[in-house]
């Protein structure tokens, strides 16, 4: 399995790239369908998703809530879609509530077919300033992302 790569492409921009063995249409479905999202978008082991709203259309709402099973710690992500171009591109704005909302994170995610029949996902996250980006990175978010993506890669729906 290919792990994600993370590059700070500007002081306020982070680009995350990861390859999946499944074609773009299946990786897209896994990112858009609530029933599939609940199975893999869990972050580190020991967390569960307690709420999943994902209205994959321009203006559609996003609302995910998670809870750490051992401690009961919890947080929520809210947002809205700006652009939805199945199965290759979406743009959304998101904010975490921990409990206060974080500044808006503008996210563009592209799903590109690769020569071996898989998908190269490129996610570009843009925030207003370098300080906000530093705070995002300090949360350890990329470790949680890779843990989730490893789960996504092993879903039965993701088989090539």
pLDDT confidence of residue 14: 97
pLDDT confidence of residue 72: 93
pLDDT confidence of residue 114: 94
Q: What is the pTM of this model?
A: 0.92
pLDDT confidence of residue 160: 46
Show the domains of the chain with their CATH numbers. 5-158 (3.30.530.20)
**Paired strand residues for 18:** 121
Q: Residue-wise pLDDT tens for the chain (160 aa)? A: 458 999 999 999 999 999 999 999 999 999 999 999 999 999 889 999 999 999 999 999 999 999 999 999 999 999 999 999 999 999 999 999 988 899 999 999 999 999 999 999 999 999 999 999 998 888 888 888 999 999 998 876 555 4
pLDDT confidence of residue 70: 94
Q: How far is it, in rounded angstroms, from Cα 128 to Cα 144?
A: 23
pLDDT confidence of residue 1: 43
pLDDT confidence of residue 98: 82
pLDDT confidence of residue 58: 98
Instruction: Report the run of H or E that residue 160 belongs to, with start and end.
Output: none
């Amino acid at each position: 399995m290919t792990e994600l790569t993370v590059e700070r492409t500007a002081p306020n921009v982070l680009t995350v790239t990861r390859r999946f063995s499944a074609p773009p249409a299946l990786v897209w479905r896994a990112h858009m369908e609530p029933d599939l999202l609940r199975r893999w978008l869990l972050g580190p082991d020991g967390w569960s998703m307690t709420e999943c709203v994902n209205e994959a259309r321009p203006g559609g709402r996003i609302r995910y809530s998670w809870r750490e099973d051992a401690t009961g710690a919890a947080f929520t992500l809210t947002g809205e879609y700006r652009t939805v171009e199945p199965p290759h591109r979406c743009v959304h704005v998101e904010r975490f509530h921990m409990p206060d909302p974080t500044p808006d994170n503008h996210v563009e995610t592209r799903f590109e077919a690769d020569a071996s029949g898989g998908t190269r996902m490129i996610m570009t996250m843009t925030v207003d300033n370098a300080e906000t980006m530093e705070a995002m990175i300090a949360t350890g978010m990329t470790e949680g992302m890779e843990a989730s993506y490893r789960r996504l890669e092993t879903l039965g729906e993701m088989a090539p």
